[in-house]
């Protein structure tokens, strides 16, 4: 089993370009697995982990409801935002500047073959990272992602998640609000969940700006520990 993960920080990159890049990496892993099965080739499969920041974009998962986007095409253009229907699970979400998006493209055969456990691990990486900033975050029953004040009228989501998996190969991932412009969430019903607020790390810490490079280092640290992986940067 290959527990080495190739890490790339793509910086600010268009959503569609990044999605296409994910698909390329995803397909390469699948092709290796198919070759191993057909030819007993015994080839190692790669693992990748991408960090990226997207220009303003709304994405709708394959089980999502388009009515959860509250903007017309004209209004999207006015807000300098784009929209895509994509092949992950989940409903609608927003990506934009000030948000750390993480895309693990892993062959779970190298780690464990359990999608439920995989999602809980992604949540745990966020929970452990935010704990280093003094925040107590948690899971909300039946709602993937990471939240604060679950079960109260003040429940708010700080990290959204949505993944795709085929033959135990993953893509898409999580979006952690660090210095995000929360006004863009007013244009959707986030994840299709009504009556729940969205927050950002700088908001919770009551500061103008959080050091995103520091947050990334903490995320990588917890990722490598939980997955018992060696991260190649």
Residue that has been written with the tokens 């997955």 in this structure: 227
The pair of structure tokens assigned to 48 is 């990748």
pLDDT in tens, 87-105: 998 888 999 999 999 999 9
Active site residue 191: yes
Give the pLDDT confidence score for residue 191 in this predicted structure: 59
The pair of structure tokens assigned to 218 is 């903490």
As a whole-number percent, the residues of the chain with pLDDT over 70 amount to 97
CA distances from 65 to 68, 70, 91, 93, 125 (A): 6, 11, 7, 11, 28
Give the pLDDT confidence score for residue 143 in this predicted structure: 86
The model's confidence at residue 178, banded by pLDDT at 50, 70 and 90, is: very high
For the CA atoms of the chain, what is the radius of gyration? 17
With a cut of 90, say whether residue 192 has pLDDT above it: no
Q: Residue 90 annotated as binding?
A: yes
Q: Among candidates 92, 35, 174, which has minimal Cα distance to 81?
A: 92
How far apart are alpha carbons 84 and 82 in whole angstroms?
7
Provide the mean pLDDT of the chain. 95
Q: Residue 174 annotated as binding?
A: yes
The model's confidence at residue 208, banded by pLDDT at 50, 70 and 90, is: very high
Q: Among candidates 186, 204, 188, which has minimal Cα distance to 146?
A: 204
Q: Which of 119, 188, 191, 198 is flagged as catalytic?
A: 191
How far apart are alpha carbons 52 and 208 in whole angstroms?
21
The pair of structure tokens assigned to 194 is 């009504």
With a cut of 90, say whether residue 128 has pLDDT above it: yes
> What's the distance, CA 59 to chain centroid?
12
Residue 114 backbone dihedrals phi, psi, to 5 degrees:
-155, 105
pLDDT in tens, 21-57: 999 999 999 999 999 999 998 999 999 999 999 999 9
Q: Residue 193 annotated as binding?
A: no
- 28-32-33 Cα angle (round to 5): 115
The model's confidence at residue 189, banded by pLDDT at 50, 70 and 90, is: confident
Q: Which CATH superfamily is domain 4-37+44-232 in?
A: Bira Bifunctional Protein; Domain 2 (3.30.930.10)
> What's the distance, CA 107 to chain centroid?
17
How far apart are alpha carbons 16 and 28 in whole angstroms?
18
For the chain, the structural domain boundaries read 4-37+44-232
Q: Residue 11 annotated as binding?
A: no
Compute the average pLDDT of residues 167-178.
97
With a cut of 80, say whether residue 196 has pLDDT above it: no
């Amino acid at each position: 089993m290959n527990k080495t993960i190739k890490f790339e920080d793509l910086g600010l990159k268009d959503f569609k370009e990044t999605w296409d890049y994910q698909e390329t990496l995803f397909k390469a892993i699948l092709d290796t697995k198919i070759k191993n099965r057909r030819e007993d080739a015994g080839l190692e499969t790669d693992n990748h982990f991408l960090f990226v920041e997207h220009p303003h974009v709304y994405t709708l998962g394959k089980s999502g409801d388009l009515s959860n986007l509250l903007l017309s095409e004209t209004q999207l253009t006015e807000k300098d935002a784009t929209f895509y229907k994509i092949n992950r699970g989940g409903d609608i979400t927003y990506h934009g500047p000030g948000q750390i998006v993480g895309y693990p493209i892993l062959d779970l055969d190298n780690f464990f073959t359990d999608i439920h456990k995989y999602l809980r691990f992604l949540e745990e990486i966020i929970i452990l990272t935010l704990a280093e900033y003094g925040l107590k975050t948690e899971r909300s029953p039946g709602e993937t992602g990471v939240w604060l004040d679950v079960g109260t009228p003040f429940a708010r989501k700080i990290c959204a998640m949505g993944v795709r998996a085929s033959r135990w190969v993953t893509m898409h991932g999580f979006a952690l609000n660090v210095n995000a412009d929360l006004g863009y969430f007013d244009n959707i019903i986030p994840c299709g969940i009504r009556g729940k607020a969205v927050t950002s790390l700088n908001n919770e810490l009551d500061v103008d700006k959080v050091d995103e490079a520091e947050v990334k280092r903490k995320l990588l640290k917890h990722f490598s520990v939980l997955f018992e992986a060696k991260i190649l940067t």
